[in-house]
Amino acid sequence: MISKDIYQAAHALYQEEIVAIPTETVYGLAANIYSEKAVRKIFELKNRPLSNPLIVHIGSKNQVEDLTDHIPILAEKLMDTFWPGSLTLVLKKKEKVPDFVTGGKDTVAIRIPQHEKTLQLLNLLPFPLAAPSANPFGSISPTSASHVVKYFDRRIPLIIDGGICQNGLESTIIGFEDDAPVLYRLGSITVEEIENEIGPIQIKKGTSNETIAPGMMNKHYAPTTLTVVTSNISETIHLHKGKRMGLLVFNQKSTNLDVAHQEVLSAKGDLKEAAANLYSSLHRLDAMNLEVIISEKFPEEKWGKTINDRLKRASHQ
């Protein structure tokens, strides 16, 4: 059922149910972090490996102390600058933070989302919410309540509709190694914004095996349609001539008549707007019975870096 009523959500969460919630990044599947029953349901529904930790969502900064004893100075600075917002911090966990939430790791990923409804819900509850993206593991993330319906209709009791996700990309994840910040996942807060606050940051490139964050896996965020990324759209269209093609472009449509459908992410050439539209465009393209989705490579700066990161994983064979 879709609802806008956070009291209904709170009730379900108390009953150890899971509820889909809106955030400014993507929709999440939420559960009480202290309910093993509810958290296990998330993993089952998503078909997510149990070793992949979940992000813990809190409603205010003073709840951080319930989860960790150690906050590096730069973590404090990042919280003060970017919370509520699309930045997740991975910190040493307190013993009471359940292993089934952290995938057995001794760290916990924490964030305060910037979405009015979900903040109200979080501040109503006496427990934080574990909430990974509300999609089957590896597929395109949901940025509207209808995407969640498409994935999980009738398999979850409640979807809270909070409109279209404003940022539309997952949070940026930063961890600490000997108190020095390390970027684990590119996301909605750009590297430029982070470095502007705390100076140069090391960026960990993920591999499929030694995975720190699932979002770093080679294949992730993927449509079911074959997807290719290119710096030369017209050449790639030519290469796929005869197939039913869809295009994903930054700001300018191709004039090629062989193309069945085109999604323009930002007609005015704004990378933040393009980022916000990325997943909804991929959802539309993936539903069109195309034989191939051809995406333009984006400028490698600001949100363009994150878009390219997601497209690379979406297109991984």
Binder to Mg ion among 86, 102, 133, 281 (CB under 5 A)? 133
Q: CB atoms < 10 A from the CB of 164, how many?
A: 14
From ligand AMP, Mg ion, none, interface partner of 109 (C-beta below 5 to 8 A by class) = ligand AMP
Residue 271 CA to residue 48 CA, distance in Å, equals 30
The H or E element spanning position 307 is helix 303-314
Q: Closest approach of Cβ 254 to ligand AMP, in Å?
A: 32
For residues 135 and 161, give the distance between their C-alpha atoms in angstroms, rounded to a whole number. 15
Of 26 and 294, the one with the shorter C-beta distance to ligand AMP is 26
CB of 187 to ligand AMP, least distance (A): 9
Cα 77 to the chain's mean position, in Å?
Answer: 23
Range in contact with Mg ion (rule: CB under 5 A) among 72-80, 98-106, 133-141, 271-279: 133-141
Q: Exactly one of 170, 263, 296, 309 binds ligand AMP (CB under 6 A); which one?
A: 170
- 184 part of the interface to ligand AMP, by CB under 6 A: yes
User: How far apart are CB 64 and ligand AMP at their closest, in Å?
Assistant: 14
Task: Using alpha carbons, select from 102, 91, 95, 93 the residue that is nearest to residue 39.
Answer: 102
Nearest residue relative to Mg ion (C-beta): 133
- Which 52-91 positions form the footprint of ligand AMP (CB under 6 A)? 52-55, 90
String of contacts with ligand AMP for each residue 125-154, x by CB under 6 A? -------xx---------------------
Candidates 10-18, 71-79, 206-214, 234-242: pick the segment binding ligand AMP (CB under 6 A). 206-214
Cβ density class 249-277: b for 16+ within 10 Å, e for less: bbeeebeeeebeebbbbbeeeebbbbbbb
Phi and psi angles of residue 108, each rounded to the nearest 5 degrees, phi first: -135, 135
CA 298, 302, 303, 305 dihedral sign is positive
CB of 220 to ligand AMP, least distance (A): 9
Tell me the CA distances in angstroms from 23 to 85, 114, 193, 222, 289, one per residue in order: 9, 7, 20, 21, 29
To ligand AMP, the closest distance from the beta carbon of 252 in angstroms equals: 31
Size of the site for Mg ion (CB under 5 A): 1
Could you say whether residue 249 binds ligand AMP (CB under 6 A)? no
The yes or no reply on residue 212 touching ligand AMP (CB under 6 A) is yes
Query: In the sheet that 202-203 helps form, which strands lie side by side, from edge to edge?
Result: 2-3, 158-160, 19-21, 28-32, 129-130, 55-57, 107-111, 87-92, 172-177, 180-185, 202-203
The option from ligand AMP, Mg ion, none interacting with 55 (CB < 5 to 8 A, set by class) reads ligand AMP
49-51-54 Cα angle (round to 5): 90
| Cβ distance to ligand AMP smaller for residue 129 or 233 | 129
Residue 78 interacting partner from ligand AMP, Mg ion, none (CB closer than 5 to 8 Å by kind): none
Residue 37 CA, distance from chain mean position: 23
d(CA 242, CA 92): 54
DSSP secondary structure letter of residue 133: B
| 105 contacts ligand AMP (rule: CB under 6 A) | yes
Q: Which residues bind Mg ion (CB under 5 A)?
A: 133
Residues that bind ligand AMP (CB under 6 A): 52-55, 90, 102, 105, 107-109, 132-133, 170, 173, 175, 184-185, 212-215
